[in-house]
Structure 1
Amino acid sequence: MIDTQIDVINKLGLHARASGRLIEITTKFRSTIQIGKGDKLVDAKNILSLLMLGAGKGSTLRLVIEGVDEEQALQEVQALFAAKFYEAD
């Protein structure tokens, strides 16, 4: 199990388009992927749950991944956040 933190650094935060891109990645994996603030974790494969987080720029989120492909899932999620969801600044 991986339990780490990830920072939201893109200008608009985890809005609809960014959440959609995150789901494109998370749904490829068999591992369970949860994200949230503190103990309030949601399914990172569910767009409504992601939108309800209200994670704006500067938020630090907890990322919990568990399963057979957890390392690859972590790498891809981190890369997406680092690339600011491929949005223009």
Structure 2
Amino acid sequence: MTEKSVEVKLKTGLQARQAALFVQVANRFSSDVYLQKDDKKVNAKSIMGIMSLAISKGTSVTLCADGSDEENAISSLAEIIESEE
């Protein structure tokens, strides 16, 4: 299992369009991928799960992945969260 803590730098946080992109990328990997904010952990491949976290800019979240491509999954998803677009 690989974990990485990242700060959300997206202008609008991880809402709507960015959440959809995040889920699309997460679904490209065979690993189980999770996103955790505070005590709540959700499946990163679920748009409803991501939206339920209500992640805004400046929030710290933890990415967790477990599987054969976990390193690639974490780095790709962290790149999305840490971009400032």
TM over 0.5: yes
* Residue range with higher mean Cα deviation, 71-80 or 12-21: 71-80
Amino acid at match of 1:76: S
1:5-48 deviation digits (Å, cap 9, x = unpaired): 11111111110101001011100000000002133100000001
Q: Which runs of 4+ in 1 moved over 6 A?
A: none
The alignment covers a number of residue pairs equal to 85
Cα distance, 1:82 vs structure 2: 2.7
Other-structure match for 1:30: 30
Equivalent pair of 2:42/2:49 in contact (CA under 8 Å): yes
Unaligned runs of 5+ in 1: none
Note if 1:80 corresponds to 2:76. no
Note if 1:48 corresponds to 2:48. yes
* Residue range with higher mean Cα deviation, 61-70 or 73-82: 73-82
Note if 1:68 corresponds to 2:72. no
SS at 1:29 equivalent: coil
Cα distance, 1:76 vs structure 2: 0.8
2-structure distance, mates of 1:16, 1:72: 24
Amino acid at match of 1:82: E
Other-structure match for 2:10: 10
TM-score, normalisation: structure 2: 0.92
Percent identity over the alignment? 31
Query: Could you say what the CA RMSD is over the residues aligned between the two structures, in angstroms?
Result: 1.1
TM-score, normalisation: structure 1: 0.88
